Amino acid sequence: GQQLNQSPQSMFIQEGEDVSMNCTSSSIFNTWLWYKQDPGEGPVLLIALYKAGELTSNGRLTAQFGITRKDSFLNISASIPSDVGIYFCAGPHMEYGNKLVFGAGTILRVKS
């Protein structure tokens, strides 16, 4: 089953609004990754976080590695229609030989 819990499950927001989503786990992760998946495509890496407390930006996207190492947050500023998609958090989990485990995703829908 999924090791990572993402919330919200889905969001329907107005174009131009800021978006926040998060990912939590009962286990400690040493790396947090945020992916976006468009329909008919594989996931694409947006941001990688490697250090507790780290705050990293990629254009309108900003992600933070929680200081407890059990959570991470992704923010999208001034959303646009092409932000539509499914956002996944992921991390290498020690129980699986450091192979990636993914959350169930947050579905983002934008009203234009």
Partner 1 sequence: DAGVTQSPTHLIKTRGQHVTLRCSPISGHKSVSWYQQVLGQGPQFIFQYYEKEERGRGNFPDRFSARQFPNYSSELNVNALLLGDSALYLCASSWGSARETQYFGPGTRLLVL
Residue 70's φ and ψ, nearest 5 degrees, are -110, 5
39 contributes a contact to partner 1 by CB under 8 A: no
Q: Which residue type sits at 108?
A: L
24 contributes a contact to partner 1 by CB under 8 A: no
Count interface residues toward partner 1 (CB under 8 A): 23
Q: How far is the CB of 1 from partner 1 (least distance, A)?
A: 9
62 contributes a contact to partner 1 by CB under 8 A: no
CB-based burial label for 37 (10 Å; 0-12, 13-18, 19+): middle
Residue 23 in tokens: 């990912």
**Among 45, 39, 46, 82, residue whose Cα is nearest residue 62:** 46
Q: Which of 14, 42, 59, 112 binds partner 1 (CB under 8 A)?
A: 42
- Binding mask 90-109 toward partner 1 (x if CB under 8 A, else -) reads x-x---xxxxxxxxxx----
34 contributes a contact to partner 1 by CB under 8 A: no
Q: Could you give the maximum distance between any two Cα atoms of the chain, in Å? A: 43
41 contributes a contact to partner 1 by CB under 8 A: yes
